[in-house]
Chain A
Amino acid sequence: GAVVSQHPSRVICKSGTSVKIECRSLDFQATTMFWYRQFPKQSLMLMATSNEGSKATYEQGVEKDKFLINHASLTLSTLTVTSAHPEDSSFYICSASRTGGTGELFFGEGSRLTVL
């Protein structure tokens, strides 16, 4: 099956620092990756759509300068939370759609960010 790996699974950082989360498709190429944010016991909120080789498309209300997304290759997308603050603490999940596939999404394990 298709595997998507996220790293790190947990990260704690100080307020004002930047944190990078990686999302890799291990056994398939992913033209498109999606980044979601999830608060406890709530739904997944789509933050942005990441397409390889082009700028990410952000959902309304998501600060593109705060959440930098880079999709430099067909197997890697990164989310950088810049100048993190405690309100950025959340669970971030990436998903990937296989290039040329049916559009089925494969999810990473998620990354829990805690900003002190």
Chain B
Amino acid sequence: AQTVTQSQPEMSVQEAETVTLSCTYDTSESDYYLFWYKQPPSRQMILVIRQEAYKQQNATENRFSVNFQKAAKSFSLKISDSQLGDAAMYFCAYRSGLGGTSYGKLTFGQGTILTVHP
């Protein structure tokens, strides 16, 4: 079974600064996807960024980028120019690339609460 580990229960950053959230995972599969989701106080899950395991290039979405180290099974999220609206709980998630009736099933890490200080 796949596992996802986020070792930072809480992180904080000053507005406009950069912060990196860590995530490691364990899998024996070669085809998979990794995600970072944001959950603000509203509890709505918001997709921040997605990485396909077969792609060597790290995904970026505006101020959000990842450092995907496949051999080390590491998938960290970097938030640049942090904004007050970035304050939320962030979840790292894994999805198998295999099909079947559980296609789309996500395994989540424990989450990291990010606080942004003005």
CB <8 Å contact, A32 and B102: yes
B45 touching A93 by the CB < 8 A rule?
yes
Cross-interface CB contact of A44 among B44, B102, B108, cutoff 8 Å: B108
> Which residues on A are within 8 Å of B, measured CB to CB?
32, 34, 38, 41-44, 46, 49, 51, 54, 57, 91, 93, 95, 97, 103-105, 107, 109-110
Known contacts A51-B101, A103-B33, A103-B95: does B106 contact A41 (CB below 8 Å)?
A: no
Chain B residues positioned under 8 Å from A34 (CB to CB): 104-106
**Per-residue A-contact encoding for B84-118, CB less than 8 Å = 1, 0 else:** 00000101000100000111111111110100000
Contact A107 to B45, CB < 8 A, known contacts A43-B110, A43-B111: yes
Measured in the bound complex, the distance between the Cα atoms of B106 and A54 in whole Å is 20
Q: How far is the CA of A38 from the CA of B45 in the complex (A)?
A: 12
**Does chain A have a CB within 8 A of B43?**
yes
For A49, the chain B residues whose CB sits under 8 A away are 101-102, 105
**13 contacting pairs across A/B (C-beta < 8 A):** A34-B104, A34-B105, A43-B91, A44-B106, A57-B102, A91-B43, A93-B43, A95-B104, A95-B106, A104-B50, A104-B104, A109-B42, A110-B43
> What residue in chain B is nearest A101 (Cβ atoms)?
B104
Q: Which residues of A contact B110 (CB under 8 A)?
A: 42-43
- Contacts of B33 on A, CB cut-off 8 Å? 103
Q: Hey, which chain A residues are within 8 Å of B47, CB to CB?
A: 104
Given contacts A95-B104, A103-B33, A109-B44, 8 further A-B contacts (CB under 8 A): A32-B103, A43-B109, A43-B111, A93-B45, A104-B47, A105-B95, A109-B42, A109-B43
A39–B50 alpha-carbon span in the complex (Å): 25
Q: A79 to chain B: closest CB distance in Å?
A: 16
B91 touches A44 (CB 8 A): yes
